[in-house]
Amino acid sequence: MGKIKINHIFKIYNQGQDNEVVALNDVSFELDEGKLTIILGASGAGKSTLLNILGGMDNATSGEFLLGDKDVAKYSFKELSNYRRNDIGFIFQFYNLLPNLTAKENIDLSASIVSSPLNTDEVLKLVGLEKRGNNFPSQLSGGEQQRVAIARAIVKNPTLLLCDEPTGALDSKTGASIIKLLYDVANVHNRTVVIVTHNSEIAKCGQRIIRIADGQIVENTINEHPLDPSEVKW
């Protein structure tokens, strides 16, 4: 997979009607490979819309979405399906684990849809849950469930890990450990990680901070000295 580059993306809901919403208004940026990028913005700014487009779950109304020399915006249904399956790991605010499968089974299921997954036990270890693989989600704390969700995304060995408010449901200490884990996934394991948040303190942990307001990028800066997540004031 090559570099990810978004060029002049627009997303317009209900186009031409009186309830038209311009959710993304001429958005352009590049993602740094093997780094943690944080997209910061208030509720309704367009963060989830942007993440869903990056994840191949939604189409932009216009603009380019380059992946190396390919334009994902022009992908067929089948190509998009393969992209979601093979290239993307997605982490949601409320984990979305299957309640009747154990932690390990949740991860195995995700591994089973790709051709060269990582080893489930190794990934469980990576997220610090090697002893909890046989527990069901209801037997795990919120932070542990989010670790399983991260493991489930990582086991696919995706190039791009997309996280929509991954600490929104967690207390500050657990949240900090999750941000630290995602930072390490990027920097130690060389994945491109994007976290969306409305929390400007969490944003300081990113190596690139992209601020979005009313569907437009209002700031895009490299952060030379990312804040250690344990220092975040939530």
Cα(168)–Cα(206) distance, rounded to whole angstroms? 16
Token pair in block for residue 119? 């080893």
- With CB under 5 to 8 Å by kind, the binding choice for 126 among ligand ATP, Mg ion, none is none
Question: Which CB sits closer to ligand ATP, 58 or 184?
Answer: 58
Which residues bind to ligand ATP, rule: CB under 6 A?
13-14, 21, 23, 41, 43-49, 198
- With CB under 5 to 8 Å by kind, the binding choice for 43 among Mg ion, ligand ATP, none is ligand ATP
Which residues bind to Mg ion, rule: CB under 5 A?
48
For residue 61, give Cα distances in angstroms to 144, 155, 169: 38, 32, 31
> Please, what is the minimum distance in Å from the beta carbon of residue 45 to Mg ion?
8
Closest CA to 68 of 114, 28, 33: 33
Token pair in block for residue 203? 């944003």
Question: Which CB sits closer to Mg ion, 48 or 106?
Answer: 48
Cα(218)–Cα(234) distance, rounded to whole angstroms? 23
Q: Do the beta carbons of residue 208 and residue 220 sit within 8 Å?
A: yes
> Please, what is the minimum distance in Å from the beta carbon of residue 13 to ligand ATP?
3
Q: How many helices (H) and strands (E) does the chain have?
A: 7, 10
Cα(28)–Cα(5) distance, rounded to whole angstroms? 8
- With CB under 5 to 8 Å by kind, the binding choice for 198 among ligand ATP, Mg ion, none is ligand ATP
> Please, what is the minimum distance in Å from the beta carbon of residue 93 to ligand ATP?
9
Cα(108)–Cα(120) distance, rounded to whole angstroms? 6
Question: Which CB sits closer to ligand ATP, 61 or 223?
Answer: 61
Residue nearest to Mg ion as judged by C-beta position: 48
> Please, what is the minimum distance in Å from the beta carbon of residue 47 to Mg ion?
5
> Please, what is the minimum distance in Å from the beta carbon of residue 25 to Mg ion?
17
